[in-house]
Amino acid sequence: MKQAYFYGTRLGRIGIAGEGDYVTNIFFGGTVRPESFEERETPLLKRAAEEIKEYLDRKRMMFDIPLLPAGTEFERAVWDALLEIPFGETRTYGQIAERIGRPKACRAVGRANGRNPISILIPCHRVIGAGGALTGYAGGLDMKRELLDIEKISCKETCGRVQKTL
């Protein structure tokens, strides 16, 4: 059974779940919650919380936590592509679709992005709409803006920071 624990952050209460040696879920707002879990802090969850706090405090740009997101093969391909987006940069849904070899699957990429069970660590907040539009985020657009701000990406600058090729 998964263990999960809740931590207070500058963004509000965040749940972190894991199983064995892997983080399986980060959840807040409308993000993906595990179906069931035992509420218990583990060393892995505590370490993940510390890394997230460092990230939110602008002291960390990369995470060292082992991840195990549950999803379809397509979803995992999308999430792997999200992990390739560097800190401080964004990609569009279309660019992610191209990256995974499915250039016409923009909407499916959007659905997979919304089903990301490990938000923040798998940076779905770095995905924006065509032309730099700030689009939906399961944690809410205010949360997405805050995460982009942490990475010094303003919504107005986003268009210029989107990589033209992957």
Tell me which residues are annotated as active site.
124
Length in residues, the chain: 166
Q: Kindly provide the residue ranges of all beta strands, DSSP E only, lying in the chain, ordered along the sequence.
A: 3-9, 12-19, 22-27, 38-39, 91-92, 127-128
- Tokens 């940069």 appear where? 89
Phi-psi region of 164 (alpha: psi -120 to 50; beta: other; left: phi over 0): alpha
> Which of 41, 84, 58, 67 lies closest to 121 in space, CA to CA?
67
The token duo for 110 is 């959007």
Two structure tokens written together for 156 = 């107005």
Contact of 83 with 63, CB cutoff 8 Å: no
Q: How many CB atoms lie within 10 A of CB 13?
A: 11
